Amino acid sequence: MFAGYDFDVIQRSAGYLFRDGMTFTVTLTFLAMLGGIFFGTLLAMMRLSSFRPLAVLAGGYVNLMRSLPLVLVIFWFFFLVPYIGAWLIGAKEPVKVGSFLSCLITFTMFEAAYYCEIMRAGIQSVARGQVWAGYALGLDYWQTMGRIVLPQAFRNMLPVLLTQTIILFQDTSLVYVISATDFLGAASKVANRDYRLVEMYTFVAVVYFVISYGLSSLVKTLQERIAVIR
């Protein structure tokens, strides 16, 4: 099975794969996680708002994102972002946006919908008395949320948020469809140049497996530790 295997191609291209490809993947994952959790939390607060239009707006956005395939959303944003950029700065022509920025906006906006649902469950898992206690102490909405409810919600949902981030890490490989050079994109460029598809794609699968499996084991350990404290 491994008779005709050319391990050398992996060694030759490892520098390129990890320096260019993996850096893109990891940076994108990390920034999209931060942005996604930030906007996701805002969306969750909007969805739980007693002001109806706000709740409907956030709910509509989340449901729209959750019913579309990520590939389609990547295409949407890839073509839409230049127009939005032009509109924002008042330019006549669509502005040029690099593939990294386009991907970052896509994943932040897309994952925000998924993080929103997690944070909504997290906020709802906090006892109602906590909110009342906050208001009774004279705190306003933002103080109650920021200092009492959200810290508990984050803590309750930490394992789920991290698991979603591992999914995000795997999903970033879909930027292949707009020919961005993430880890998979870099590997596929080498694979097609040297005609070493079997070696490169198996290697990519192994690397993704090792990272995702390692991270999910860590999350599991974390979950157990949190469970003990509570």
Ranges assigned E (strand) in 15-144: none
Nearer to another protein, 134 or 150 (CB): 150
Which one among 49, 99, 152, 216 touches another protein, defined by CB under 8 A?
Answer: 216
Compute CA 17 distance to the chain's CA centroid, rounded to the nearest angstrom: 21
Question: Does residue 64 interact with another protein by CB under 8 A?
Answer: yes
Which one among 127, 133, 137, 197 touches another protein, defined by CB under 8 A?
Answer: 197
Query: Closest distance between another protein and the C-beta of residue 115, in Å?
Result: 9
CA distance 97 to 88: 13
Q: Which amino acid is at 156?
A: N
CA distance 40 to 33: 10
Element (H, E) at 165: helix 150-171
Binding residues among 120-139 for another protein as defined by CB under 8 A: 121
Which one among 14, 34, 137, 205 touches another protein, defined by CB under 8 A?
Answer: 205
Nearer to another protein, 108 or 188 (CB): 188
Query: Are 166 and 213 contacting, i.e. CB atoms less than 8 angstroms apart?
Result: no
Binding residues for another protein, how many (CB under 8 A)? 46
CA distance 28 to 44: 23
Question: Does residue 23 interact with another protein by CB under 8 A?
Answer: no
Query: Closest distance between another protein and the C-beta of residue 14, in Å?
Result: 17
Question: Does residue 176 interact with another protein by CB under 8 A?
Answer: yes
Question: Does residue 92 interact with another protein by CB under 8 A?
Answer: yes
Stretch of residues binding another protein (CB under 8 A), selected from 29-37, 133-141, 143-151, 174-182: 174-182
Element (H, E) at 193: helix 183-194
Question: Does residue 208 interact with another protein by CB under 8 A?
Answer: yes
Which one among 16, 18, 154, 201 touches another protein, defined by CB under 8 A?
Answer: 201
CA distance 198 to 5: 8
User: Pattern of binders to another protein over 68-87, x per CB under 8 A?
Assistant: xxxxx--xx--xx--xx-xx
Stretch of residues binding another protein (CB under 8 A), selected from 16-24, 40-48, 100-108, 202-210: 202-210
Angle at 134 between CA 129 and CA 138, to 5 degrees: 140
Query: Are 28 and 100 contacting, i.e. CB atoms less than 8 angstroms apart?
Result: yes
